[in-house]
Amino acid sequence: MNILDQETMLALFHSYNLLFIGGLFIFAFCLTFYLIPKVLWVSKEKNLMAQVNDRSAHSTAIPSFGGVAFYVTIILLLTTLQSLRLTYVGNHLIAAITILFMVGIKDDLVVSTARVKLFGQIAAVCFLIFSPELQLNTLNGFWGIYEIPPVVGYSINATIAIALINAYNLIDGIDGLASMAGMVIAGVYAMVFYMTGNSYFVLVSTGVMGILTAFLRFNFSRGRRKIFMGDSGSLVIGLLLAFLTIKILVMAPNPSLIAEGYDPSNRLLLIACVLFLPAFDTLRVMIIRMTNKTSPFSADRNHAHHVLLDLGFTHFRASFSLALLNLMVISGFFFLAPLVSNLWLSFITILMYAVSFFLFSKLKVLTEQKAKPTYSDAFFEEEDIKEERKEREVELEISGN
């Protein structure tokens, strides 16, 4: 029996669906877990480390080439999945991933300009948005909008993809955050794809979860096994999440979900809730920078994870708290979607963003107050007593002379 034969693969997939999905998760996890130590060894032998700067959340030089293990695992995974021939979009995805991996690995090695990164992202995204299976032709009644011109569909898909790639890259600032966020997003998408019968996309989502789960073990390590995903990792994972997001937006309405009250017109709102963490954090940081009349692309410590770290959270607690917040927003969507109209759900989604913005603004004020020395009335009384003693000592010395 040839296990890579299309008929054999399809038979295994249809006969043992959940087992096949679980096996793919284990495959992605084990391969990533095996490859990362190899990447670590090469990085240390060649002294390829992420150096410490004033915004770093780490105090020692750490290898930042986790993306190499990601890329190898993803390419092997996608190549194997192509044996199923469920879709040809995988070929376009492999091309897009390869472009962004090259851009990311160059940035990890010698630092790339923002223009080079943007050109690479545009080139990669073109492989996705022009793929026939990912063309957006309708918004399914979102705010009363149905059919849209092809150029508008391409623009929406491109904007979502490029924005998500960069937003995911920006949240990769502390240990575990990008991985946990990616696992939450991929996990929710896997559930939606499973419920709607999009088998290929279930498997891709599961593969992403397996890769990030394995990476967490090394990202949280405190010893010599610690590694970062780097730009080569965050750009590739960001692209995969963008690929899955576009599929959510363009897939055909599912009668069973519609019967349960999940209207296709709410898909943009579903995306806004599933991608809450990277979207909210990026929007918040951009608004703060523009309010302060600085470049929206300038580096600072206004990210949500920086706020939590400055409050005394550990990397794990900060990452887990933000991932939990994302899950709460997603749960709110699934609870409310069958109960309220599209306009009301839009208002509630915007309100969740606004409340989170207000909350982290207050937390930021707390961190600034914590950074400043605070003095009680007792402190000032003690200082006055010390000053009086000094004056008396001076008077005694003068009278003694």
Tokens of 289: 């920078």
Please give the Cα distance from 215 to 237 (Å, whole number).
12
Backbone angles phi, psi at 261, to 5 degrees: 100, 5
Low-confidence residues of the chain: pLDDT under 50: 373-381, 383, 394
How many other C-beta atoms lie within 10 A of the C-beta of residue 104? 29
Tokens of 224: 């010599």
Please report the pLDDT score of residue 344 as a whole number: 94
How many other C-beta atoms lie within 10 A of the C-beta of residue 265? 22
The tens digit of pLDDT for each residue in 135-182 reads 999 998 899 899 999 999 999 999 999 999 999 999 998 899 999 999
Helices 315-336 + 276-291 axis angle, to 10: 110
Helices 150-171 + 177-196 axis angle, to 10: 140
**H or E segment to which residue 333 belongs:** helix 315-336
Nearest C-alpha neighbor of 169 from the set 113, 221, 239:
239
Please report the pLDDT score of residue 59 as a whole number: 55
Contact of 136 with 148, CB cutoff 8 Å: yes
Annotated binding site for Mg(2+): 169, 231
pTM: 0.87
Nearest C-alpha neighbor of 69 from the set 108, 30, 32, 109:
32
Please report the pLDDT score of residue 366 as a whole number: 85
Please report the pLDDT score of residue 163 as a whole number: 95
| Residues, the chain | 401
**H or E segment to which residue 145 belongs:** strand 145-147
Beta bridge partners of 62: 50
**How far, CA to CA in Å, does 50 sit from each of 67, 71, 109?**
13, 19, 9
Cα distance from N-terminal residue to C-terminal residue, the chain:
110
Q: Where are the domains of the chain?
A: 6-371
The residue type at 60: T
**DSSP per residue, 61-88:** -B---HHHHHHHHHHHHHHHHGGG-S-S
Please give the Cα distance from 40 to 43 (Å, whole number).
5
Annotated binding site: 169, 231
Nearest C-alpha neighbor of 253 from the set 147, 138, 331, 148:
138
Nearest C-alpha neighbor of 177 from the set 186, 166, 169, 187:
169
Residues 6+ apart with CB under 8 A from 303: 170, 171, 173, 281, 285
Residue 226, exposed/middle/buried by CB under 10 A (0-12, 13-18, 19+)? middle
Q: Can you tell me which residue has the tokens 């750009």?
A: 235
